[in-house]
Amino acid sequence: MYNSSAIGYLAMRNATVAGAVGGCQAEVGVASAMAASAAVELMGGTPRQCLDGASTALMNLLGLVCDPIGGLVEYPCQNRNAIGVANALTTAELALSGVPQLIPFDEMLAAMYHVGRRLSPDLRETAMGGCAVTPSGREAACQGCCSL
């Protein structure tokens, strides 16, 4: 718990975890980084490997937009969180197997924050871009989205 909390704290302190500010890369990416770091520790990894896992997890989701259909977090958010879990466990295994991360976690946070701030506002939790504006997404929003 302390491990993943530290990763989340660093993200909150130095970047963002809000989709409205940084897109889903901030929400799902940071959560995945937190989980990756904790998984590495639980599997006996070193502090360096924990940060390598967190950095790789964040890197893998860099640029992910936040485009909730109907403004709700039911879709595509639930699916993206599942991908975040798979990403976390995969990057934890990479770190534990000795695959180093070229970009340190603090630099990856800075890159994520920079990318997120450059995303169009339509792609940051506004339901005005991406999946939210596809014909099927708009139809689902009109039907209340909850039936998805």
124 three-state secondary structure: strand
Full pLDDT tens readout for the chain, 148 residues:
899 999 999 999 999 999 999 999 999 999 999 999 999 999 999 999 999 999 999 999 999 999 999 988 889 988 999 999 999 999 999 999 999 999 999 999 999 999 999 999 999 999 999 999 999 999 999 886 555 4
Residues 102, 107: Cα–Cα separation, whole Å: 10
- DSSP letters for 54-95: HHHHHHHTTT--B--GGG-TTTTHHHHHHHHHHHHHHHHHHH
**Tokens read off for 137:** 């997404």
Residues 35, 102: Cα–Cα separation, whole Å: 20
Cis amide linkage into residue 100, ω under 30° from 0: no
